[in-house]
């Protein structure tokens, strides 16, 4: 078993750290935020992720994982250091690598043993070559250091499961020493390992995420055409899914993809291609379709209503998908400002995302509209003139068509997640508009 240090305790870092501890490694998670470190020491997860806290508490209690702000002590004798810090998008679409370079410098100044540095963060192709050189340039002690790429494929909401039962582990290395060490770390997981060179590993991450983003944008594009020609995109997707070459996953048309990954990684790859004098037209198309898709329901509703001014607008779901409190690139963030600008009185419900959302849009009056956060869906729907569904939370799916009719002043529903059957809503007396299906 290895002494593992993890830099960064976001989704990737913390979930990986806890899972490495769970299979028996001795793990130390490093973060600069002392409050967060104390929280984790006491067994509280700073992120909302199913199953994570239980696993943290178990491994905390069994002494296989610890948390610290003291990077020197964590890195000094580590066999392996995983870097899982963020690579946020910059205004030009490129990845901001400042967190990675800070950690690289700290590693160079701390390590006293031979050590494999493994980058889990999503980084532009070729970055890990530079990280390795950077660490070597600043290395204080005479030790062997190599950098490997080990991209992460966990999805928020199922992160622990995705890590423990990953479909594949991609390891990108430049020497047998690095490959063997990384294989050994993953050995207790008993998962398929694909071993490639470092640049291919970096590329696999982008190519995988962008392919999924492309699949969604393709279905959203088809959905928009379905509406025009009178087809139903869900039936179309089902018909397509039986072809194993297409598969059944990520064929759900909706209000566009959000989150911290697809929007960032499509823009990053577009950026990488342009930097290399190439235009990645397919990925560019996925980005363009997604931008329009996020406000497609708003546009439909604007055509149907004279104004939103003074209307009570129920918003169900704020997060970019269910099972997370993450709002990054969520469709709600594209729509709420438009509704407020039009003078809507928004009543928003989200089982876990409301508090984060209220940091961006505090409850109260805006220039024209207002926003109020409510604890239950009934309050949001009561007397509402129109309802928008942005996230398919279980609680939202459980609302019956009759409830819209019973509670709303005018039962007019714009559903960005295709939760209901048209005929059920029609039968209940609800005017229902969804994505890629005739109203």
Active-site positions? 261
Residue 258 marked ligand-binding: yes
Alpha carbon distance 431, 234 (integer Å)? 19
For ligand UGA, the closer of residues 65 and 330 by Cβ is 330
> Scanning residues 12 to 41, which ones bind ligand UGA (CB under 6 A)?
none
Residue 414 as a binder of ligand UGA (CB under 6 A): the answer is no
- The strand ranges marked E within 173-223 are 193-196
Residue 153 as a binder of ligand UGA (CB under 6 A): the answer is yes
Residue 28 marked ligand-binding: no
Residue 61 marked ligand-binding: no
**Residue of the chain from 9, 127, 128, 252 that contacts ligand UGA (CB under 6 A):** 252
Tokens 């700073």: give the residue: 46
Residue 264 marked ligand-binding: yes
The pairing of strands 345-349 and 312-316 is parallel
Tokens 């622990």: give the residue: 160
Is the sign of the CA dihedral 384, 389, 390, 396 positive or negative? positive
For ligand UGA, the closer of residues 4 and 212 by Cβ is 212
Quick note: the x/- pattern for ligand UGA over 183-212, rule CB under 6 A, is --------------------------x--x
Residue 156 as a binder of ligand UGA (CB under 6 A): the answer is yes
List C-alpha distances in Å: 399 to 105, 314, 389.
Answer: 52, 13, 11
Least distance CB 407 / ligand UGA (angstroms) = 26
**Piece of 112-120, 168-176, 258-266, 406-414 that binds ligand UGA (CB under 6 A):** 258-266
DSSP letters for 355-381: HHHHHHS-SEE-SS-EEEE-SSHHHHH
Q: Beginning with the edge strand found earlier in the chain, give each strand of the sheet holding 3-7 in spatial order.
A: 65-68, 26-30, 3-7, 80-83, 115-119, 145-149, 169-172, 193-196
Alpha carbon distance 403, 407 (integer Å)? 6
| 66 DSSP β-pair partners | 28
15: which 2 tokens?
């979930």
For ligand UGA, the closer of residues 47 and 338 by Cβ is 47
**Residue of the chain from 8, 259, 351, 411 that contacts ligand UGA (CB under 6 A):** 259
For ligand UGA, the closer of residues 163 and 173 by Cβ is 163
Least distance CB 80 / ligand UGA (angstroms) = 21
**Residue of the chain from 66, 152, 221, 350 that contacts ligand UGA (CB under 6 A):** 152
Least distance CB 108 / ligand UGA (angstroms) = 27
**Residue of the chain from 81, 251, 301, 340 that contacts ligand UGA (CB under 6 A):** 251
- How far is the first Cα of the chain from the last one, in angstroms, to the nearest whole number? 59
For ligand UGA, the closer of residues 181 and 321 by Cβ is 321
Residue 256 marked ligand-binding: no
List C-alpha distances in Å: 4 to 140, 209, 381.
Answer: 20, 27, 50
The pairing of strands 312-316 and 386-389 is parallel
Alpha carbon distance 253, 256 (integer Å)? 8
Quick note: the x/- pattern for ligand UGA over 315-334, rule CB under 6 A, is -----xx-------------
User: Phi and psi for 7 in degrees, rounded to 5?
Assistant: -95, 115
Residue 254 marked ligand-binding: yes
**Piece of 22-30, 132-140, 246-254, 353-361 that binds ligand UGA (CB under 6 A):** 246-254
Q: Is 167 left (phi over 0), alpha (psi -120 to 50) or beta?
A: alpha
For ligand UGA, the closer of residues 220 and 385 by Cβ is 220
DSSP percent split of the chain into helix, strand, coil, nearest 5: 45, 15, 40
Residues annotated within a binding site: 31, 36, 87, 122, 205, 250-254, 258, 264, 321, 328
Which residues here bind ligand UGA, judged by CB under 6 A? 152-156, 209, 212, 216, 250-252, 254, 257-259, 261-262, 320-321
Q: Which residues are documented as binding site for substrate?
A: 205, 250-254, 258, 321
């Amino acid at each position: 078993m290895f002494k593992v240090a993890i830099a960064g305790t976001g989704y990737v870092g913390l979930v990986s750290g806890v899972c490495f501890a769970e299979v028996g490694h001795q793990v130390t998670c490093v973060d600069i935020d002392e409050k967060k470190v104390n929280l984790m020491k006491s067994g509280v997860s700073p992120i909302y992720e199913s199953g994570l806290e239980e696993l943290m508490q178990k491994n905390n209690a069994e002494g296989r994982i610890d948390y610290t702000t003291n990077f020197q002590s964590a890195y000094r004798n580590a066999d392996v250091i995983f870097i899982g810090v963020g690579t946020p998008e910059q205004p030009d679409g490129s990845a901001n690598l400042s967190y990675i370079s800070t950690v690289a410098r700290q590693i160079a100044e701390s390590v006293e043993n031979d050590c494999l540095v493994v980058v889990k963060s999503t980084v532009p192709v070729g970055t890990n070559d530079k990280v390795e050189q950077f660490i070597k340039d600043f290395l204080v002690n005479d030790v062997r250091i190599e950098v490997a790429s080990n991209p992460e494929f966990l999805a928020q909401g199922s992160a622990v499961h995705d890590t423990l039962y990953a479909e594949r582990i991609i390891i990108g290395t430049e020497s047998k020493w690095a490959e063997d060490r990384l294989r050994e770390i993953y050995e207790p997981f008993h998962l398929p390992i694909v071993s490639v060179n470092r640049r291919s590993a970096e590329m696999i991450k982008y190519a995988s995420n962008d392919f999924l983003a492309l699949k969604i944008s393709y279905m959203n594009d088809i959905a928009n055409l379905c509406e025009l020609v009178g087809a139903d995109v869900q039936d179309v997707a089902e018909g397509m899914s039986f072809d194993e070459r297409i598969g059944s996953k990520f064929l759900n048309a909706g209000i566009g993809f959000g989150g911290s990954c697809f929007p960032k990684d499509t823009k990053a790859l577009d950026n990488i291609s342009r930097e290399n004098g190439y235009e990645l037209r397919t990925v560019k198309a996925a980005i363009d379709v997604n931008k329009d898709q996020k406000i497609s329901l708003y546009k439909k509703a604007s055509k149907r209503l004279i104004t939103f001014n003074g209307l009570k607008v129920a918003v169900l779901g704020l997060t970019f998908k269910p099972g997370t409190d993450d709002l990054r690139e969520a469709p709600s963030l594209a729509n709420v400002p438009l509704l407020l600008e039009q003078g809507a009185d928004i009543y928003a419900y989200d089982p876990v995302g409301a508090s984060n959302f209220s940091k961006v849009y505090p409850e109260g009056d805006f220039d024209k509209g207002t926003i109020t956060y409510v604890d239950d869906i009934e309050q949001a729907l009561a007397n509402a003139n129109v309802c928008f569904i942005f996230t398919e939370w279980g609680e939202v799916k459980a609302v019956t068509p009759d409830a819209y009719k019973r509670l709303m002043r005018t039962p007019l529903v714009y559903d960005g997640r295709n939760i209901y059957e048209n005929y059920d809503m029609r039968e209940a007396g609800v005017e229902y508009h969804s994505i890629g299906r005739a109203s």
